[in-house]
Chains A and B, each alone.
Chain A
Amino acid sequence: MRKAHPVEDLARDERFVRVDIQDRISDPRSVKNSRMRTQARLTPERPDSADAARALMHGIFVGEIQALEGAGRTCWDFETGDGRDEAPFALKLDMARQCWDEARHCEISVKLSDWMGTEIGEFSEGAFLYAAACNPDPVLRLTGVNRALEGLAIDVFNTMREFGEIAGDPVLEFCEDWMLADEVTHVKMGSDWLRRLTADDPERRKDALEFQRIVDKLFSLGGFRSDEDDSPVKLARRFRELAGFDDAEIDEIADLASQALEEARTRQEAAAALASA
């Protein structure tokens, strides 16, 4: 079996269609909708809340598939050892445990999709999580996936859990709560392995944290996830603390999200001007 399986070769059936995330973020239509930001928080009061929750749940589902694929690849892609291009056996055991969690999350997500009236493949798939899991350095891979993207998962699951709680939906609330608990563990694994494997290698730690910053900024999704109350997905500060982030690290993610929002606005204005010309 080959190593470093590229994102283009992931196995999917005809129900799944991939859409590039930049295509979404740069959509020229967003800029002129002045109501978008003020009505963006996902609460049952939003007129489109049920469909927005269905779309977000589908995004979680495809993310779970890719998280399973990514953790599985990390078990396989590296020889066992302590070298820079190797992965310690204990790290592989953690990734195997994560595979088990992600497989359960896929099954939970399929059942939740049924509950919410969503068909598998009803919405497009972004392959960004797996793309981050293709980094050739296992530490950068865990930093980008476990700390940045599983960190985003914490924010998303917490938002969905709160949505289910407010709407009185016991199925959604409990499913999200259970998955959220697993995600906190996955992020903590990323934090622990980052510190352990780079304890004597400050340059490698610097590279890993820079990779995390890039991923965190890109996947703030133009302000979709931020520390602002009117963002669709809000930073879950408490759960991030439990997952090994300190206050300064959480503040940095909030700053990156603000930058991502401003940059997305600039891109959208340019795209809108082009489309109107």
Chain B
Amino acid sequence: MANVVLAPDRWAMVDFDPERVRAIASELADAAGLPADREVVIELNDTSPLGRYSLDSMDPIRVSMESGAFEDPKHPRQLSEGGAAGVLGRLFFRAADRLTDGFAAAPEDADLTPETGIAWEVHAAGRLARTGRQAQRQRWIYHFRNRHGFSDEGDAAFDRLWSADDLTWADIEALSASALAATPA
């Protein structure tokens, strides 16, 4: 089981239980296949209600997010365990990808284009869904269509990203490009 570190280890502006967050993260790190000897740092910014999140470094694996990413949309400032698992699961699947040769050429998260970024998210979300956790397939196809256009070819690329278990970075780039190429001018 990965060593999960919260930074900071408690929060003033949201009512999230740090132990629950740590437990969810440990479970998801295992599900995504992160090595047990890796340290995983979770940096949560409780001063922002927005929901942005990112994978910032690999050694240690450091992920950061604004508090809205973990928040229950129906109960302000309360933890959504399903939502937190969704965000952490997608981040950890992408971190596990980066540990493989097939993703050696992937740019840093900050340098991903919006299109390739969402394509990689879809690939992570599909694998997370197959572990029995948050799926929301229609939500993700809507995200994908907003970045790649609304076309049958784009939907076919989405299906491949969602259903595959072993794509490389080159595959993700190619699927994103094929969807974009089908977008009406």
User: Which A residues are closer than 8 A to B by beta carbons?
Assistant: 17, 19, 23-24, 27-30, 32-33, 35-36, 44-45, 47-51, 54-55, 114-118, 121-124, 167-170, 272, 275-276
- A to B CB contacts below 8 Å, 28 in the list: A17-B74, A28-B13, A29-B14, A29-B48, A29-B49, A29-B77, A30-B49, A32-B48, A33-B48, A33-B49, A35-B50, A47-B52, A47-B114, A50-B143, A51-B139, A51-B143, A54-B142, A115-B138, A116-B138, A117-B139, A118-B139, A122-B74, A124-B75, A167-B146, A168-B150, A168-B183, A168-B184, A169-B150
The 8 A CB mask of B140-159 against A (1 = contact, 0 = none) is 11110111011000000000
Residues of the A chain whose Cβ atoms lie less than 8 Å from the Cβ of B183: 168
Tally B residues with Cβ within 8 Å of A.
33
A124-B146 CB under 8 A given contacts A29-B46, A29-B48, A51-B51 = no
Query: What's the Cα separation between A99 and B50 when bound, in Å?
Result: 35
A123 touches B49 (CB 8 A): no
Residues of the B chain whose Cβ atoms lie less than 8 Å from the Cβ of A124: 73-76
Interface centre among A36, A124, A168, A276 (most CB of B within 10 A): A168
State how many angstroms separate the Cβ of A111 from the closest Cβ of chain B.
Answer: 12
B50 touches A48 (CB 8 A): yes
Q: Is B64 an interface residue (CB 8 A)?
A: no
The 8 A CB mask of B48-77 against A (1 = contact, 0 = none) is 111110000000000000110000011111
Query: What's the Cα separation between A170 and B13 when bound, in Å?
Result: 40
Query: What's the Cα separation between A32 and B50 when bound, in Å?
Result: 11
User: From B14, which residue of chain A is reached at the shortest CB distance?
Assistant: A29
A54 touches B139 (CB 8 A): yes
B50 touches A36 (CB 8 A): yes
User: From A39, which residue of chain B is reached at the shortest CB distance?
Assistant: B50
The 8 A CB mask of B22-62 against A (1 = contact, 0 = none) is 00000000000000000000000011111110000000000
State how many angstroms separate the Cβ of B72 from the closest Cβ of chain A.
Answer: 9
A122 touches B47 (CB 8 A): no
State how many angstroms separate the Cβ of A53 from the closest Cβ of chain B.
Answer: 8
Q: Is B12 an interface residue (CB 8 A)?
A: yes
B68-107 interface with A by 8 A CB criterion: 73-77
A55 touches B150 (CB 8 A): no
Query: What's the Cα separation between A23 and B77 when bound, in Å?
Result: 10
Q: Is B137 an interface residue (CB 8 A)?
A: yes
Pick the contact of A33: B47, B141, B142, B145 (CB < 8 A): B47
Residues of the A chain whose Cβ atoms lie less than 8 Å from the Cβ of B14: 29
Q: Is B136 an interface residue (CB 8 A)?
A: yes
Query: What's the Cα separation between A28 and B184 when bound, in Å?
Result: 44
* Closest 5 A/B residue pairs (Cβ): A117-B139, A117-B138, A32-B47, A17-B74, A33-B48
Residues of the A chain whose Cβ atoms lie less than 8 Å from the Cβ of B140: 117
A276 touches B75 (CB 8 A): no
Residues of the B chain whose Cβ atoms lie less than 8 Å from the Cβ of A30: 49
B51 touches A24 (CB 8 A): no
Residues of the B chain whose Cβ atoms lie less than 8 Å from the Cβ of A28: 13
State how many angstroms separate the Cβ of B129 from the closest Cβ of chain A.
Answer: 13
Query: What's the Cα separation between A39 and B56 when bound, in Å?
Result: 21
Residues of the A chain whose Cβ atoms lie less than 8 Å from the Cβ of B75: 17, 19, 124
State how many angstroms separate the Cβ of B37 from the closest Cβ of chain A.
Answer: 32
State how many angstroms separate the Cβ of B128 from the closest Cβ of chain A.
Answer: 15
Pick the contact of A48: B47, B52, B184 (CB < 8 A): B52
B73 touches A50 (CB 8 A): no
**14 new A-B contacts at CB < 8 Å, known A29-B48, A170-B150:** A19-B74, A29-B13, A33-B50, A33-B66, A35-B50, A50-B146, A54-B142, A116-B142, A117-B136, A117-B139, A117-B142, A122-B74, A123-B74, A169-B145
